[in-house]
Each structure stands twice: as structure tokens, then as C-alpha cells.
Structure 1
Amino acid sequence: MEITEYKAITEGLLFASGDEGITKKQLERILELDKKTIDHIIDEIRYDYEHIERGITLMQSKEVLHLTTKPEHSNYYQKLIDTPQNSKLSQAALESLAIIAYQQPITRTEIEEIRGVKSDRPVQTLIAKSLIEEVGRKNGIGRPMMFGTSTDFLIYFGLKSIEELPPLPEGIEESDVEQEADLFFEKFKDQLHEKN
């Protein structure tokens, strides 16, 4: 495989790793390359991002590599944050919202166990849209955050309280919660998208 293809794969891995980032050791293991080659690939990617026409840069914090926006463009990112968005919720965000609504209070790890995939971004999207909020910390190692639906969630769906959610069928398995909850949220999907 050519070095340019490894660079492309590495860039994709950096993007896919999101906020958690990725270490050089992880890259060595995933790409099955030695440290010297990984360092060379990272140096080339860093060099590419240093050009003025690029909006992303490569940052290393301790041993973890992240893709991030360039600080010199921060005033534009602030404008984006301050501008009302018309973005729709992704399927992943809707699934996560359904799980949270029916299983609250629930941790991100528990959401991921039900969905079977990482849920950092959907959870962050739901927090940014004020549909969910932190409702406490779970007792145990690391005291992870627990999430629940917010008042805005109730307003969006025209509910007076969370008790107005339709009940899930008797004897439902935890793994089926996502599917059953999706049926409920499907009828509200268009309404939610119009309000966002």
C-alpha cells in the first residue's frame, strides 16, 4: 500500500475517533505499521494541515492525536454557534433520545450497550439542542453522568410529563427498547424536524 493511502486511512481514523482522539500506538496496531512509519505519516498530515487553505489542524494532547479547527478561525465558529440552526436530528440522535426517554436516568455507556455503537456524538447533539440534560451521577467507578429528558423535550413532544409516554409492551427485552421507542418517536419526527 502506498504512503498516500495510509495517510488517507489515518486521516479517516482521526476523524472517526472524534473527541476521544487516537494514539500513535493505536495507529501502529490498526495499520500494522512501525513507529517510524506512523511518525512519518503524522508529520505529513500535520504539514498538509499547516497550509492556509486548510480549515483543520492536527493537535496532540499528551499522547492523543485529535483533528480540530484552527484557532484563527474561531470568530466564524462563534457565529455558527450563535446562529439558529435548522439541522435535523440524525437517526442515531433519535435512537439515543428514545432510549434516554424510556430508560432514564441512564449513562452514555448504558446507551451504547443498548444501541451497540458509540453514542458520544448523538448524546452531545441532544445536549446541544437541550432535549436531554445531566440528572446526576451514578454511584460506582468514575461516577459517570446520568442523562434524562429535559423540559424542552416535553415541550417539543407536547407532553405534560414523562409519564405520558406510551407504555412499552409487557415483557419487552432491554434490547428491544430502541425499536419500540422508535415507533413512538416516528410520529413525532416530522414535528421535531420542523421545530429545529
Structure 2
Amino acid sequence: MEFNELKAITEGLLFASGDEGITIKQLARVLNIPEQTIEQLLEKLKYDYNNTERGILLMQSHDVFHLTTKPEHSPYFKRLLETPQTARMSQAALETLAIVAYQQPITRTEIEDIRGVKSDRPVQTLMARSLIEEIGRKEGSGRPMLFATTKDFLTFFGLTSLEELPPLPEGIDTDQLEQETDLFFEKFTEHMDDTDYK
């Protein structure tokens, strides 16, 4: 296989690895070539990104390599997030997101019990935006899927951990599901209004 073809495949593997990134050992195993060749491929990619008008960079964090956007382009990414087409979510989606954030891990049925309505579409919307994800199945009858928030959720709302979520008032009666939903939604939207990613 030619060097340029290997470089193209390496670039694709870096892209496919996403935020998790990929190591030289992993690349060498997948491509079935020596690690020294992988190092040369990565150096060539790094050179290409740094010396042409490209929108991405090759970053290295310890032994892990991943692609990222150029810092000088960040105002445009912020603007993208602020456009109504990409940033606006329905009240149902925000309400569902707040419930998942405070009650995770949680099943779709449990979400619907709290909201009082079917939640298939809001859950699909949140998964499509990578704000929630499936993390396994609950023990018991039917083994329903469990949902939780993602790393993108934290990034989107400017949080470093779930501990930074605004606290709910003490003494919530969890049996009063309608009131609980209102509290979730109110607190969550208040926090969203305090972030730059409205």
C-alpha cells in the first residue's frame, strides 16, 4: 500500500476515533504496519495541517492522538451553536434532558412517568445531538435501556461535572411527578440561561 493511501486511511481512523482519540499502537495494529511508519504518517499529517489552509489540527495528549478544530476559528463555532437552527430545542426536549440530568441513569418509561406523556421523539432528538446516550440495561423485567448524559452535555452547558448542576430545592416529594417535572425544567432552564450556549 502506498504512503499517501496509508496517510488517508490514518486520517480517517483519527476522524472515526472522535474525542477518544487513538494511539500509535492501535493504528499500527489496525493498519498492520510498524509503529515507526505510523509515526511518519502522523508527522506528515501534522505538517499538512499546520502548513496548509486547513480547518483542523492533529493534537497529541500523552500517547493519544485526535483531530480538533483550530482555536482561531472558535468564534465561528460559537456562532454556529448560537444559531436557532442548531441550538434551539423544544420545551419537550429540554424537559426530558433536565429529567435525565438529575435522575440518571433512567429508562424511557421512567422519563414518561415523570413527564406524563410519551417521550420517544425528545429522547431521539437528544441522542441525535449527543446530549444523552444509552449506557446499558436496567435489571428486571424486559431489561429496558438506561439513558444518561454525555460529555457533550457537559461541554454544551459549560459544566466540568454533573456536580455543577444547579441544586434542586430540598424536600421534593418524588411521588408528585408533575411538580417534580416543573422543578427540573425551571432549574435546568435557569442554568441554561446563565450559559453562553443558549
Letter in 2 for 1:102: Y
1:153 aligns with 2:156: no
Q: CA deviation at 1:187?
A: 3.0
In structure 1, give the amino acid aligned to 2:184.
A
Partner of residue 180, structure 1: 183
How many Å separate the matches in 1 of 2:190 and 2:167?
Answer: 15
Paired residues for 1:19-30 under 5 Å: none
Equivalent residue, structure 2, for 1:97: 97
Contact 1:166 1:184 in 2 (8 A): yes
For 1:4-19, list aligned pairs within 5 A: none
Contact kept, 8 Å, 1:102 with 1:177, in 2: the verdict is: no
Q: In 2, are the aligned partners of 1:105 and 1:147 still within 8 Å (CA)?
A: yes
Number of positions where the alignment pairs a residue of Structure 1 with one of Structure 2: 111
CA distance in 1, matches of 2:190, 2:105: 24
The 1-side partners of 2:156 and 2:133 are apart by 15
The 1:151/1:188 distance shift into structure 2, 3 A limit, reads: same
Distance in 1 between residues matched to 2:139 and 2:158, nearest whole Å:
33
Q: Does structure 2 conserve the Cα–Cα contact (< 8 Å) formed by 1:112 and 1:119? A: yes
Alignment of 1:112-123 (within 5 A): 112-123=112-123
User: In the alignment, what sits opposite 2:110?
Assistant: 110
Give 2:123's aligned amino acid. V
Q: Which amino acid aligns with 1:106?
A: I
Write the mapping of 1:20-169 to structure 2, written as runs, cut at 5 A.
86=86, 88-169=88-169
Task: Name the structure 1 match of 2:35.
Answer: none
Q: Contact 1:137/1:146 (CA < 8 Å) preserved in 2?
A: yes
Task: Please tell me the residue identity of whatever aligns with 2:129.
Answer: K
- CA deviations on 1:164-195 (whole Å, 9 max, x unpaired) are 11221111022233211212222354588x85
- Please tell me whether the aligned partners of residues 131 and 150 of structure 1 are also in contact (alpha carbons under 8 angstroms): yes
User: Partners in 1 of 2:188 and 2:170 — Cα distance?
Assistant: 19
Residues in 1 aligned to 2:166 and 2:193: alpha-carbon distance in whole angstroms: 18
Task: Provide the aligned C-alpha RMSD in A.
Answer: 2.0
- For 2:135 and 2:120, how far apart are their aligned partners in 1? 17
Between the aligned residues of both structures, percent identity stands at: 63
Q: In 1, Cα distance between the equivalents of 2:193 and 2:164?
A: 19
> Structure 1 stretches of 5 or more lacking a match?
1-84
Distance 1:102 1:128, change over 3 A: same
**1:96–1:123: 8 Å Cα contact kept in structure 2?**
yes
Q: Distance in 2 between matches of 1:161 and 1:87?
A: 21
- After superposing on structure 2, the runs of 4+ consecutive aligned residues of structure 1 that deviate more than 4 Å are 188-192
Tell me what 1:77 maps to: none
Question: How far apart are the structure 1 equivalents of 2:187 and 2:136?
Answer: 26
